[in-house]
Amino acid sequence: MPDRPFHVLFLCTGNSARSILAEGLLTRLGGARFRAFSAGSRPAGAVQPLAAEWLAARGVDPSPLRSKSWDELAGAGAPPIDLVVTVCDAAASEACPVWPGAPLTAHWGLPDPAAAVGDDATRRRAFAYVGEALERRLAALVRLPVESADRAELELAVRRLADG
């Protein structure tokens, strides 16, 4: 693997909730070994306020996070991506851009907490459910030997984290 932080891109349709949660959490959990990015195929243009609230409650500063198109990270001058993780079913079935360097891929499908209906407590529970699932998966990801693992073994290990 590269002699730099391991770059992980989280993709979702709107890039306002799940992928934002994943980017913020990996930034905190991954330390200097990982660098997190997120993007969407049809970005909402803003971070979901409950996603920002959930991250802030866990010590993650949400202010640098923003909803953006995956085109920003697929073009010339974009950072190289080592792993692309789709976190919503729509993004997994959509045509993704060709990523330079043939990154590893995984799908960690999770329900969209931004689509939750009900009162504030119900909506907050939806964000907590998704955030906690991502936190477990990302805690396991940062324990993987990304610097030295065989590419095929690493991809399989990352894909298996979807079950956690």
Q: Identify the residue whose tokens are 């998704």.
A: 130
Q: Give which of 91, 73, 84 is closest to 14, Cα–Cα.
A: 91
Classify 49 as helix, strand or coil.
helix
**C-alpha to C-alpha distances, 72 to 9, 13, 94, nearest whole angstrom:** 12, 14, 17
Instruction: State the catalytic residue, choosing from 11, 51, 88, 126.
Output: 88
96 is catalytic: yes
14 is catalytic: no
Instruction: State the catalytic residue, choosing from 9, 11, 12, 154.
Output: 12
- Cβ-contact 162, 136 below 8 angstroms: no
Instruction: State the catalytic residue, choosing from 1, 96, 161, 162.
Output: 96
12 is catalytic: yes
Q: Which residues are catalytic, by number? A: 12, 88, 96
